[in-house]
Amino acid sequence: MGQDVGVRTFSREDRARYREKVRRCLDVFAEMLRESRFDVERPMTGLEIELNLVDEDSMPAMRNADVLTAIADPSFQTELGQFNVEINVTPRRLAGTGTAEFEEHVRASLNAAEAKAQDVGAHMVMIGILPTLRPEHLTAAALSANPRYELLNEQIFAARGEDLRISISGVERLAVTADTITPEAACTSTQFHLQVSPAQFADYWNAAQAIAGVQVALGANSPLFFGRELWRETRIPLFQQATDTRPEEIKAQGVRPRVWFGERWITTVFDLFEENVRYFPALLPVCDPEDPAEALARGDVPKLAELRLHNGTVYRWNRPVYDVLRAARTCGWRTGCCPPARRCSTRSPTAPSTSGWSGPWPSRTGRCGRRCRSAPPRRTSPAAPGTASTPRCSGRAWDTCRSPNWCCAGCCRWPTTDWTVGAWTRPSGTDCSASSSTAA
């Protein structure tokens, strides 16, 4: 999803060729599902953590190139902003003491990286949105040097045809315009990748969707942006607006945004990839020379490069991932896919410590597993009213419950005395049983 793309321009022929190629990849993916060509015997779990870089005064440090050079570890990569880096933790099994070992490994990696970052005048911080960010930090000059980000910026604005307008109403109100996508860099997350079998994927993904509201409500830690107190989880509206390819008239027509929770239960992982191809035009129409059908016919593992690249530009809360590891196919959820494999990838708020994610993570995975084994959602019916706005309701945490499906999550609110510490409380006068289905 973070593959490099060189600087280039795209012609109409490029886009037509890419559309044909990505649909061919989708056909091959369907054939692989029918033939069960996925590694499911040794399911693995992976992790991505996005980090902020700050200086001695806790202000954003535009030093990711220097920091990565000092760290010299391929597990650490650039992110959109020069004040961001990301660690990609090697997938492993979590059976037995696997979770504790995973945390120890991540803690050791981060501690070692922090020590080297200090040598170049930077520190690593894990938080949803860095509270010290100001408009002057989120300009075109703040984009990382990777050509992929410049190209993505160009393509989003070419699709929009106008500047971004970011408007968020919470405890306070914020209304600004931006001529780059760098405000997206303010949104950092922890992304869990769970490899699952094709037969189990739909149940796990539906369960991940079902608990997303509670997950956001309990982990919210981004109340401040540009010095304003907004939502308890401001990343949700900020990320959606900062990557929005739709001008106002297209929004009014009900066209789906690329940052998307979803609108229904699924019956197979194919549903998600097919929706991404059917609903969203290509942002980066780069074609790979491989013919996926020929690769599959001769017994090789097709890379499905176009499908993977396209999937990486549709930002679902729980994202399906197809990946190829050690000549094997995997699929999963973010919550992601793996040799070939399917993975489910889930976005969670970035916790301020390793224990902040290592504790809730196995609990969340366990809840998904229990739910899909006991009483999975009705996958053949559309989502109930309000489901699509679940993370928005939980992230905003207004004084009234806006979603009947997730009223308990919507009622959770950070205490107003101190947003850094404290217990969750239910606002007085809230009646969950009588809540409206209006989107928050």
Cα distance from N-terminal residue to C-terminal residue, the chain = 30
Average pLDDT of the chain to the nearest whole number: 80
Contact in structure between 272 and 318 (CB atoms under 8 Å): no
Distances (CA, A) of 140 to 9, 212, 402: 19, 33, 37
Supply the pLDDT for residue 198.
86
pLDDT digits (tens, 9 = 90+) for 278-312: 999 999 999 999 999 999 999 999 999 999 999 99
Which carries the bigger pLDDT value, residue 86 or residue 404? 86
Rounded to two decimals, what is the model's pTM?
A: 0.80
pLDDT tens per residue across span 171-222: 999 999 999 999 999 999 988 888 888 888 999 999 999 988 888 888 888 9
> CA dist 62 to 65, 109, 123, 138, 392, Å?
8, 21, 11, 11, 30
Better pLDDT: 103 or 429:
103
Q: In the prediction, which pLDDT does 90 show? A: 84
Listed in sequence order, the residues at least 6 apart from 418 whose beta carbon sits closer than 8 Å to its beta carbon are none
pLDDT value of position 438: 28
DSSP line for 323-342: EEETTEEEEEEE----SSEE
- Confidence check: pLDDT of 170 > 50: yes
Task: Report the distance separating Cα 119 and Cα 257, nearest Å.
Answer: 41
Measured distance CA(394)–CA(403) in Å, rounded:
9
Which helix (H) or strand (E) segment is 204 a member of? helix 198-210
Query: What sign does the CA torsion over 56, 62, 68, 70 have?
Result: negative
pLDDT at 394: 63
Mean pLDDT of 240-248: 95
Number of H helices, E strands in the chain: 15, 14
H or E stretch covering 104: helix 98-118
Instruction: Round to whole Å and give the CA distance between 195 and 91.
Output: 9
C-alpha–C-alpha distance, residues 339 and 257, integer Å: 31
* Of residues 152, 178, 153, 161, the one with CA closest to residue 248: 161
Lowest mean pLDDT among 83-97, 149-163, 282-296: 83-97
398-418, pLDDT tens digit by residue? Answer: 333 333 333 333 333 333 333
pLDDT range class, residue 345, cuts 50, 70, 90: confident
Q: How confident is the model at residue 269, as a pLDDT?
A: 93
The predicted pLDDT at position 436 comes to 30
Identify the residue whose tokens are 């981060």: 110
pLDDT digits 0-9 by tens, 5-33: 655 789 999 999 999 999 999 999 999 99
Residue 246: its pLDDT value, please?
A: 95
pLDDT band at 152 (very low <50, low <70, confident <90, very high): very high
Q: At 244, is the pLDDT very low, low, confident or very high (cuts 50, 70, 90)? A: very high
Burial 61-74 (b: 16+ CB within 10 A, else e): bbbbebbbebbeee
pLDDT of 327 reads 42
Which pLDDT score, from 0 to 100, does residue 219 have?
Answer: 83
Q: What's residue 172's pLDDT?
A: 97
Q: Which amino acid is at 211?
A: I
Q: Residue 5 and residue 14: Cα distance in Å, rounded? A: 15
User: Higher model confidence: residue 327 or residue 182?
Assistant: 182
In terms of pLDDT, which residue wins out, 14 or 42?
14
Alpha-carbon torsion 344, 346, 352, 356, what sign?
Answer: negative
Residues 6+ apart with CB under 8 A from 438: 386, 402
Point out the least confidently predicted range of 86-90, 262-266, 322-326.
322-326
